[in-house]
Structure 1
Amino acid sequence: MTAIAMNPPVPLASRFEPGRLMVHAALIAYTVLALFPIALILINSVKSRAAIFDDPLALPTMDSLTFIGFQKVLASTNFLLYFGNSLYVTLLALLCIVLFGAMAAWALSEYSFMGNRVLTLFLALGIMIPIRLGTVAILELMVKLELVNTLAALILVYTAQGLPLAVMILSEFMRQVPSELKDAARCDGVGEVRIFFQVVLPLIRPAIATVAVFTMIPAWNDLWFPLILAPSDRTKTVTLGVQQFIGQYVTDWNSVLAALSLAVIPMLILYALFSRQLIRGLTAGAVK
């Protein structure tokens, strides 16, 4: 009875208020707008070339249904290698971003030391300045380190690209962790490392999921740095591998759409896994 009194049910009439209906209509319209390109790619990936150009919005029929694009992608190219390269680079870069970003955020939010604000400002500049402006310097550095045409070059670049945003998000959440929990752990003789991994990190899982979503998608979809740093056939990523089906005069649209359909699947799966924690992180951050 107490719980019911504290959380009364929302009246049915209030659910149909004009303001609430407008918000839901806007959200539904945005969802349709965001999912439309993905649906268009998936639909046309199983249609013949003629059907794609005749009516790209139509669903495939028995006459237009074909899987020739998937057969070409999987049989005549190293798409599985490109797919594995993208997955390896994205997951390893994501691990580095979360781990190093959380460690840096812990240091900046928990300890007071000379240069704390300077480091925070420096990381904030990393968010505002695109990393692509330093492409020439990055390429020169990778040549000196002999990392050109290696996946390690991409992992290092994506880690550096995602760290500033990760530190900003995670440090804000870490400041909200009650100091009583950390002080109680210290009184029990728990070291700082165990406090970080066993007390703090489990409490900021929504923030970690938010960082994961915001950093893995740009790394997976990037074409710029794979084209410059790792263009060899054994280090190509999915986005770079798709380009071989696009020519100056002829484009194999069946293969392009099939490759894009296969490339979008991991991001949809990872987003579905992180979506709940992502929403919690965004809604929690809205009031911080």
Structure 2
Amino acid sequence: MTRPPGAPRRRHNLPAGVAAGLWLVVVGLPLYVLVASTFQERDAYFDHGPLSLPTEPTLDNYRRVLASDFLTYLLNTALVTAGCAALVVVLAVSVGYTVVRTLNRSSQQVFRFFLLGLAIPAQAVIIPVYLLITQLHLYDSLWAIVLPTAAFALPVSVLILSGTMRDIDEELYESMTLEGAGQLRVLLRLVLPLSRAGIATVAVFSALQAWNNFLFPLILTQSRSSRVLTLGLYDYVGEFRVDIPALLAAVVLSIVPIFVVYLFARRQLVSGLMGVGGR
């Protein structure tokens, strides 16, 4: 195909291509090891190494994982994730709407109070959180994971949703007010539809925080009936051996649900982080 007269000449960027290839190897090699190892027997894995191709692929690792308490851990994790995401969305929408529509000093102080949570790591307050959970008689329950996880996801969520709601034109608020709409109707009929991207961002963010949480389940739960996936992976780590293929099979199965959620919500997630406001 001939180049049109006056068209810029295409130049091949060799350094960028080499860098992209190296980055592909860096990202793809761990994924290959993760997936390929799940189709090997434990003895074959240790004999041939993690980079070898499975000579006799098997699904025994997945069968062992599904025959264990994995489904119980998965259900607990799903309940914690759904509860945390729902709680964060409800509270973040309420606080964000109040901050945006209440133009006084107290609302701004509340907003700064929520932003203060961004500077407090969970590790720094785990002892007070533990004491508070035990005083509420919630220790070793799923609520003991949901409530602190939602609390630490709330500052970022309020920041995202308040920015999203500020992108809504002031004229839309005024027109609904002139029509006699109250605050609740404005929230339900105007703010929520135009804040879909921000709400999706908050829901996915809080769900990821709950799904991957390790510290709160480790400290605030004890029994197997309230164990989540991040702790359930320890079932494949013994005192004298580690069943690495079964452990990696459990990791793959635990990744799939949250990855599917991300695939369906990735567009809203990106739009919400960019501050589009769902429009």
1:57 aligns with 2:48: no
Shift of 1:151: 0.5
What is the match of residue 48 of structure 1?
Answer: 41
Q: Which string of whole-angstrom CA distances, capped at 9 and with x for unpartnered residues, describes residues 177-197 of structure 1?
A: 001111111222222112112
1:209-247 Cα deviation digits (max 9, x unpaired): 222332222211112111111121110001111112112
Q: Deviations over 1:152-195 (max 9, x none)?
A: 11111111011000001110111110011111112222221121
Letter in 2 for 1:83: L
The code of the aligned residue for 2:50 comes to P
**Distance (whole Å) between structure 1 residues aligned to residue 265 and residue 18 of structure 2:** 25
Counterpart selection for 1:278 from 250, 269, 272? 269
Whole-angstrom CA distance in 2 between matches of 1:216 and 1:96: 11
What residue is the counterpart of 1:72 in the other structure?
64
1:229 to 207, 212, 220: 220
Alignment pair present for 1:132 and 2:126: no
| Residues 72 and 205 (structure 1), Cα distance of their counterparts in 2 relative to 1, 3 Å cut | same
Contact 1:69–1:255 (CA<8 Å) still a contact in 2?
A: yes
Moved >3 Å (runs of 4+): 11-14, 16-19, 24-39, 282-285
1:214 corresponds to: 205
C-alpha displacement at 1:141, in angstroms?
Answer: 0.9
Q: What is the CA-CA distance between 1:59 and the residue it aligns to?
A: 3.6
Tell me which residue corresponds to 1:143. Answer: 134
Deviation string 1:52-97 (CA, Å, 9 cap, x unpaired) is 3323233433x2x11221122222x211111000011011101111
How far is 1:208 from its partner? Answer: 2.0
1:117 aligns with 2:108: yes
Aligned to 1:97: 88
**2: CA distance between counterparts of 1:28 and 1:211?**
34
Asked if the contact 1:86/1:220 (under 8 Å) is kept, the reply is yes
**2:257 maps to 1:263:** no
Change (3 A) 1:42 1:12: farther
**Which residue of 2 is the match for residue 199 of structure 1?**
190
* Structure 1: runs of 5 or more not aligned: 1-10
Aligned partner of 1:169 in structure 2 is 160
Give yes or no for contact 1:68–1:254 (8 Å, CA) kept in 2: no
CA shift in 2, pair 1:164/1:275, >3 Å: same
CA deviation string 1:107-152 (max 9, x = no partner) = 0111123322222222111011112211111111111111001101
Is 1:48–1:66's contact at 8 Å kept on the other side of the alignment? yes
Q: Partners of 2:51 and 2:118 in 1: how far apart?
A: 38
In 2, distance between residues paired with 1:17 and 1:136? 59
- CA separation of 1:159 and 1:58: change in aligned 2, threshold 3 A: same
**TM superposition score normalised by structure 1:** 0.84
What is the alpha-carbon distance in structure 2 between the residues aligned to residue 268 and residue 107 of structure 1? 33
- Aligned-pair identity (%): 31
Cα pair 1:148 1:229 within 8 Å, conserved: yes
Match of 1:108 among 84, 99, 103: 99
After superposition, the CA RMSD in angstroms is 2.6
